[in-house]
Amino acid sequence: MLLHSQIIGAGRPLVILHGFLGMGDNWRTLGNQFAKLGFQVHLVDARNHGRSFHSEYFSYPLMVSDLVHYCEHHKLEHIYLLGHSMGGKTAMFFAVKFPELVSKLIIADVSPKAYPKHHQIILKGLSSLDFATIKTRQAAENALSKYIKDPPTLQFLLKNVYWKSKDELALRIYLPALIKNIDEIGKALAVNTTYEGEVLFLKGENSTYIETEDKPLLKSHFPRSIIRTVSNAGHWLHSENSSEFYDYVAEFV
């Protein structure tokens, strides 16, 4: 099955992979900007996210396979690949396995290391949404706000709520598979895997996803990598300081 995407512009292929519980549409504003640089921008929805297909199976090797199939279908070669968080991990797994397909790699606020589970409250909140009784978006927001106190995170998650029919709300994400396979999200890149091409790591100044002690690990997997810090931004650095994020990416590509 083919991943859903929005394709903007024409030129060199730039594929953007969103983070966990996100969707390609979250990147549309930046995608339009990148298209003006002469890129054909592909805003891709991962399996079990956005408008892409649902599956009981969910892992980085599967998401890499999905992306290979996507590139083959669209005849994409030498892609510029940008991934945030889970999408960044997918991009890393993809680049070390299929380096010949990648021209340059941009990784937004995630390291090749393993991460402990930390989405439990979010998943509990999303699981609590009962659309048999929730009949408005405001009601969904009120219900989810009992679990999610951070307003930007709340609004980010609410993008997954959509009108399945004219009188029925639903979630775009396939929650059962994501909950069942939640341990997959934090998995580390395999030891002794490398990508020799150019890599830009972008770290949010207020984020702890990439730490100083991670630098040797980054270099061991990506010897030609550089790290830049996006100021006044946390894990959602591309939305919290989109202009500085854009400038770093534009300079790199």
Please provide the DSSP assignment of 100-152 as one string: GGEEEEEEES--SS------HHHHHHHHT--TTT--SHHHHHHHHTTT---HH
Q: Are the C-beta atoms of 42 and 14 separated by less than 8 Å?
A: yes
73 is catalytic: no
Mean pLDDT of 59-86: 98
**The predicted structure's pLDDT at residue 113:** 98
Are residues 238 and 220 located together in one domain of the fold? yes
Tally of domains in the chain: 2
Sheet hosting strand 12-17, strand order edge to edge: 5-8, 39-44, 12-17, 79-84, 102-108, 199-204, 225-230
- The label of the residue with tokens 């998943």 reads 123
Beta-carbon-side half-sphere exposure of residue 52 (alpha carbons within 13 Å):
28
User: Residue 19 belongs to a domain with what CATH number?
Assistant: 3.40.50.1820
Residues 46-59, mean pLDDT to the nearest whole number: 98
Using DSSP's 3-state secondary structure scheme, residue 78 falls into coil
Query: Which of 128, 158, 180 is a domain's end point?
Result: 180
The model's pTM is 0.96
Is there a single domain that holds both residue 37 and residue 106? yes
Same domain, 124 and 162: yes
Q: What is the predicted pLDDT for the residue at 117?
A: 85
Pairwise CA distance, residues 68 & 100, whole Å: 12
Considering the candidates 52, 85, 111, 207, report the single residue annotated as catalytic. Answer: 85
pLDDT confidence tier of residue 234, bands split at 50, 70 and 90: very high
Tens-digit pLDDT profile for residues 4-13: 999 999 999 9
Closest CA to 40 of 9, 16, 17, 15: 9
Distance CA 110, CA 19 (A): 10
Angle of helix 151-158 relative to helix 137-144, nearest 10 degrees? 130
Residue 12 and residue 137 share a domain? no
- Residue range of the domain that includes 142: 120-180
CA distance 67 to 152: 29
Last residue of a domain, one of 180, 199, 223: 180
| Residue 225 annotated to the active site | no
- pLDDT at residue 202 in the model: 98
Claim to verify: residue 12 and residue 84 sit in the same structural domain? yes
Among 132, 151, 180, residue at a domain's last position: 180
Residues 163 and 111 in one domain: no
For the stretch 116-157, pLDDT in tens is: 988 899 999 999 999 999 999 999 999 999 999 988 899 999
Do 111 and 17 share a structural domain? Answer: yes
Do 43 and 149 lie in a common domain? Answer: no
pLDDT in tens, 82-97: 999 999 999 999 999 9
What's the whole-number mean pLDDT along residues 154-174?
Answer: 94
